[in-house]
Amino acid sequence: MQETKRILTGSALPGLAKGNNKAWKRVLQNWELYLFIAPAFFYFLIFHYGPMYGIQIAFKNFIPTKGIFGSPWAGFDHFIRFFNSYYFWDLLWNTLSISLYELAIGFPLPIILALAFNEVKNGFFKRTVQTVTYAPHFISVVVMAGMIITFLSPSTGIITHFLEWLGFNAPQFLTDPSWFKTMYVFSGVWQGAGWGTIIYLAALSGVDPQQHEAAIIDGASRFQRVRHINIPTIVPTMTILLILNMGSLLGVGFEKILLLQNPLNMEASDVISTFVYRSGLVDAQYSFSTAVGLFNSVVNAILLIVVNQIVRRTNENSLW
């Protein structure tokens, strides 16, 4: 209000002290808003920025009795040890290949499903299919792992029985390293593809019906209308989600991997985050695993920034 009044009266040079005063007045007037944000502020400060302070142990030899600050410096020793270890390339390869595999299958499928759902005009059928395909999203990762283990069991699993019924020799899904990634990716698709359609369906509901009407009059087939009207509508959503996915390339859903891991499939299933968990919390190599984790987060952050830059150069739908 005062802002507009000042512009209207044309006082171009508000006194500096007066401006300061006003800012203070605004702060004081809304002091309760600071009370509102205090819990979240302290939560993020302590539980997100606090651990960032702890990252320094990646460059130290952490000794619990001396604490984070008092432990002696080690420079880049832990990083060098990690980069030179025989498992470094395996971990990096597993992490990247699982992520890219997941991206290649899990990213396009919700888009295709959403486009298909959108073409279903029967309301009851559409609602039923949507309710059912969204549901697996709510299954916990432990139950999911339990289902995978039971379904793929070499002696009693239903998928094993089904493959045998078809005349195939069912592979040892759970223990054969070459099947681990497929098992991981496709179970994830089963669980998440339906839920993933919601965001695209929301975007598709914004398509102007007049565009379709005009296209019909021009003689466009339904497939052509999907191709030239619906798909371009969801491209911005696709771009944003793709950037976010790229940013978490090294952050594969390790909770499920941890549950499906066993000594026999380790060579394909060990990723950076499970390695951090094992070396850090199971073997208590605090400094070393913090260094590995830091490497992971830094690569993630760089990937996110790079992908965002590339997208920003090519079109306007970047994150920032």
Partner 1 sequence: MVSAVKETGRDKVFVICNYIFVFLAFIVVAYPVLYMISASISDPKLVGSGEMWLLPKGITFEGYERVFQNSSIWTGYGNTILYTAVGTLINLFVTLPAAYALSRKDFAGRNFFMGMFMVTMFFGGGLVPTYLLVKELNMVNTMWAIIIPSAASIWNIIVSRTFFQSSIPKELQEAAQIDGCTNMRLFIKIILPLSMPIIAVMGLFYGVGNWNSYFSALIYLNDADKYPLQLVLRQILVLQEMSAQGGGAMDASSAAALNNKAEIAALVKYAVIIVATVPVIAIYPFLQRYFVQGVMIGSVKG
State in angstroms the smallest separation of the CB of 13 from partner 1.
22
Q: Which residue matches tokens 């830059």?
A: 309
Report the alpha-carbon distance of residue 133 to residue 189 in Å, rounded: 11
Instruction: CB nearer to partner 1: give 86 or 320.
Output: 320
Decide: residue 68, CB within 10 A, 0-12 exposed, 13-18 middle, 19+ buried.
middle
**Does the footprint of partner 1 cover residue 222 (CB under 8 A)?**
yes
Instruction: CB nearer to partner 1: give 50 or 232.
Output: 50
State in angstroms the smallest separation of the CB of 60 from partner 1.
12
Token readout for 24 is: 């203070």
Site for partner 1 in 170-199 (CB under 8 A): 190, 193-195, 198-199
State in angstroms the smallest separation of the CB of 140 from partner 1.
3
**Does the footprint of partner 1 cover residue 202 (CB under 8 A)?**
yes
**Does the footprint of partner 1 cover residue 310 (CB under 8 A)?**
no
State in angstroms the smallest separation of the CB of 16 from partner 1.
17
Angle among Cα 260, 140, 174 to the nearest 5 degrees reads 20
Report the alpha-carbon distance of residue 287 to residue 58 in Å, rounded: 5
Site for partner 1 in 245-274 (CB under 8 A): 247, 255, 258-259, 273
Instruction: CB nearer to partner 1: give 231 or 258.
Output: 258
Site for partner 1 in 67-96 (CB under 8 A): 68
Site for partner 1 in 30-59 (CB under 8 A): 30, 32-37, 39-41, 43-44, 46-55, 57
Q: 185, 238, 271, 294: which one contacts partner 1 (CB under 8 A)?
A: 294
Which residues, other chains included, contact 253 with Cβ-Cβ below 8 Å and sequence gap of 6+? 141, 188
**Does the footprint of partner 1 cover residue 133 (CB under 8 A)?**
yes
Q: 161, 242, 299, 312: which one contacts partner 1 (CB under 8 A)?
A: 161
